[in-house]
Structure 1
């Protein structure tokens, strides 16, 4: 599927380069976000605004690259608007917005509503709100690009983490809508959908189903996402195996569900009497 993505990349957005651009990266204190900021700086971005709920962490990342650090909670619309306003006032018009912040809550339907709501706000509404504040500006300037870290869970599912799977699916759906609605206005969209990545989200945990095809380093994941932006591709799959899983899901949904049930039994064994 990724090969096809390269073949049929939207020529209107192909050749997008980072030199001289202004970029915002959320979740920039560590993991994929930090890697995105470093790679953007090496690629000649004019300024990189590093945002994170961990303001000190954002400042440390910014100091590494001569960027701008901003503390911002991506679950709050006021913070997202302030982040974009500050980025444009201090660095210039935002060309690339990398919505990378995300959270995971383990469990299923029993997870408290407050955790479901936080997952919804960070994993979905952060992208909606960033678009709400940036799309009008980008359209008036002739274009821009959104890179949304959505996870392979948004294309497939996530054993043991219902709120994560559901909200990442919603993030993919919104990214599709954004691309089909504003592509004619010069606004490109790329979704970055890795499986397991060696970040704070996976640190100290027993390897799970997401790492079945290996644990990837954040630098490699970030490069996959930025390369897709360069090539004008919507879908970036750092773990190439995900393309095959997507095909199997589309070809025979019931068989795919059966396979996922096997993985669920393997990685989420039921307690006695459950």
Structure 2
């Protein structure tokens, strides 16, 4: 049976060429939504659209012009956008992330944060009474457990995901009682290309089980009650909740634990580097 809060709704999913975005789009279609999928990878997003019966709108979902073009095309295809899943995100982490260039920081802020801001800036007024039709809407941010905790070795990623959660919180505080439901999905390790590219951090991110993207999408849909009420935080890995609570209850103790974990990761990386060097010398 289709979800009553999604059935017949018009939904947009960015970053839907694969991974969590594809899973969200696929689940939305299964729940009866009419879906527009977006990605900078035009071939990938067209494949997804053909596979699930959605409308593909390839392009940049972070720039002001790109967001406007996406919303115009989605409105034409759907009539009304009821659900916006701001899922597109990037990670440009390097080994010493403190030395990441300004360009890397700007790229990640552009996609991981400003894409959300620009979409909300355009959409929320449409959903409010007075400036719009007053019908409300649902704005869903795919953030990360890194946005509630941190990600060792990944300064730009952790910072931008914290900012994504912070903006979503502000959006909920400001518009949550005016018909705009805001949610932040914050998974740990998920079986995506981004996890595979995490190098030595892959094992750390998968410590509490790396979920399939479909599991993340299911956690989000399951969080929405039939009457439309829903929690702000969606935690596909439930253990993130206690971690987050422990961080808030005693931040210094939590930081000490994270430093010990970072030292363990550093040792693991050193051992991996030494093993690689040994393998190369044997050839």
Instruction: Normalising by structure 2, report the TM-score.
Output: 0.87
Q: SS of the counterpart of 1:23?
A: strand
1:113 aligned onto 2:131: no
Q: 1:36 aligns with which of 24, 28, 33?
A: 24
Assess if the C-alpha contact under 8 Å between 1:26 and 1:51 holds in 2: yes
Deviation at 1:228, TM superposition (A): 2.1
Structure 2 gap segments, 5+ residues each? 272-283
User: Retained in 2: the 8 A contact 1:55–1:72?
Assistant: yes
Q: State how 1:172-251 maps to structure 2 within 5 Å.
A: 172-203=165-196, 205-206=199-200, 207-230=202-225, 231-251=229-249
Residue number in structure 2 paired with 1:18: 6
Extract structure 1 runs of 4+ deviating beyond 3 A: 269-272
Give me the whole-angstrom Cα distance separating, in 1, the residues matched to 2:91 and 2:4.
32
How much does 1:208 deviate?
Answer: 3.3
SS state at 1:202 partner: helix
Is the Cα–Cα contact under 8 Å of residues 147 and 225 in structure 1 kept in the other structure? no
Task: Find the aligned partners of 2:204 and 2:195 in 1 and give their Cα distance.
Answer: 12
Say whether residues 1:125 and 2:114 are aligned partners: yes
2:91 corresponds to which of 104, 112, 124? 104
> How many correspondences in the alignment?
257
Q: Which residue of the other structure, out of 32, 42, 51, is the alignment partner of 2:38?
A: 51
Give the conservation status (yes or no) of the 8 Å contact 2:29–2:52: yes
Give 1:109 deviation, angstroms. 1.8
Q: Given the alignment, which residue of 159, 162, 167 partners 2:160?
A: 167
> Cα 1:16–1:136, aligned 2, differ >3 Å: closer, same or farther?
farther
The equivalent of 1:147 in structure 2 is 140
Three-state SS of the structure 1 residue aligned to 2:184 is: strand
Q: Indicate yes or no: 2:252 matched with 1:254.
A: yes
Distance in 2, matches of 1:258 and 1:29, equals 39
Distance, in Å, in 2 between the alignment partners of 1:179 and 1:228 is 16
CA RMSD of aligned residues (A): 1.6
Residues 191, 225 of structure 1: 8 Å contact kept: no
Cα contact 1:148–1:191 (8 A) shared by 2: yes
Q: Which runs of 5+ in 1 are unaligned?
A: 1-14
State the TM-score, normalized to the length of structure 1.
0.90
Deviations 1:110-154 (A, max 9, x none): 001100000001110000000011011111222000110010000
Q: Distance in 2 between matches of 1:222 and 1:81?
A: 26
SS at match of 1:148: strand
Aligned counterpart, 2:54: 67
Which residue matches 1:79?
66
Structure 1 residue 16: Cα displacement: 6.2
- Where 1:201 maps in the other structure, the secondary structure is helix
CA 1:255 to 1:86, structure 2 compared with 1: closer, same or farther past 3 Å?
Answer: same
Which one has more relative contact order, counting CA pairs under 8 Å at least 6 apart? 1
Give the distance between the partners of 2:59 and 2:151, measured in 1 at CA: 27
